[in-house]
């Protein structure tokens, strides 16, 4: 079942340690088949080198196990809420990468200080509000996803233009049209978070990049008038 999606999700999970985005088993990737509404995700606590396309887990959007003998990632409910909230998303990544997680632990948005950030994220990367004690005690992982959706809805953000979020006191989630793009966005988010920290250290009062520069750099890579790269 879903052999090609399994292969994509397996390769994306294996890429997390290869790209320096995880330690131990601190991260997971999923992918969705929109036609069937089925999600392939990493099994919980399994080492990346032990993963195979066959031992990934398949669940439906209600979290019911469809195929697999292992327990799905403990973050599965968060992934499912994001897939339901963001219909254009085809793959999701969660890590505890150092710099992005450090920003998440401050509870602050990640400012767009320059063009490297603007090439991939159309403005600041939002940080969610903290979950309440009641939300943590009841359906914690699902509420993590609904709080992300809330942040995008209340701010009027397009999740495909800002393909990532910082969950307060937790860490980053990124997404894309497929699992590979979600991993690429996780790597970019980690690097721009590192750059932003260095910027703050050099100049604590540094101002974000002006809107016209952000607009130029984002639009030259995205949208109908993009001209970066080859046709």
Point out the residues that are catalytic. Answer: 119, 228
Which long-range contacts link 22-27 to residues 24+ away (Cβ below 8 Å)? Answer: 22/48, 22/95, 22/96, 22/97, 23/96, 26/95, 26/96, 27/93, 27/94, 27/95, 27/96, 27/97
3-state secondary structure of 204: coil
182 closest CA partner among 53, 64, 106, 83: 83
Residue 231, judged by CB atoms within 10 A of its CB (0-12, 13-18, 19+), counts as exposed
**Cα 152 off chain centre by:** 13
Alpha-carbon distances of 116 from 58, 69, 131, 214, rounded to whole Å: 36, 42, 31, 10
């Amino acid at each position: 079942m879903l052999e090609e999606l399994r292969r994509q999700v397996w390769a994306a999970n294996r890429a997390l340690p290869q790209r320096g985005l995880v330690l131990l088993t601190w991260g997971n990737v999923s992918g969705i088949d929109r036609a069937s509404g089925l999600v392939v995700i990493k099994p919980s606590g399994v080492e990346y080198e032990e993963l195979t396309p066959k031992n990934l887990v398949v669940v439906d959007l209600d979290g019911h196990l469809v195929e697999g003998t292992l327990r799905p990632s403990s973050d599965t409910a968060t992934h499912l809420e994001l897939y339901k909230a963001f219909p254009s998303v085809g793959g999701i990544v969660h890590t505890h990468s150092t710099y992005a997680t450090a920003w998440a632990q401050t509870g602050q948005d990640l400012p767009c200080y320059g063009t490297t950030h603007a090439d991939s994220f159309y403005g600041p990367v939002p940080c969610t509000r903290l979950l309440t004690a009641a939300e943590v005690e009841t359906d914690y992982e699902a509420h993590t996803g609904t709080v992300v959706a809330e942040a995008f809805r209340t701010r009027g953000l397009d999740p495909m233009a800002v393909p990532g979020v910082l969950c307060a006191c937790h860490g980053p989630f990124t997404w894309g049209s497929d699992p590979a793009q979600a991993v690429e966005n996780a790597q970019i988010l980690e690097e721009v978070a590192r750059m932003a920290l260095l910027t703050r250290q050099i100049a604590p009062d540094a101002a974000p990049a002006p809107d016209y520069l952000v607009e130029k750099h984002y639009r030259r890579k995205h949208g109908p008038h993009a001209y970066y790269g080859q046709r």
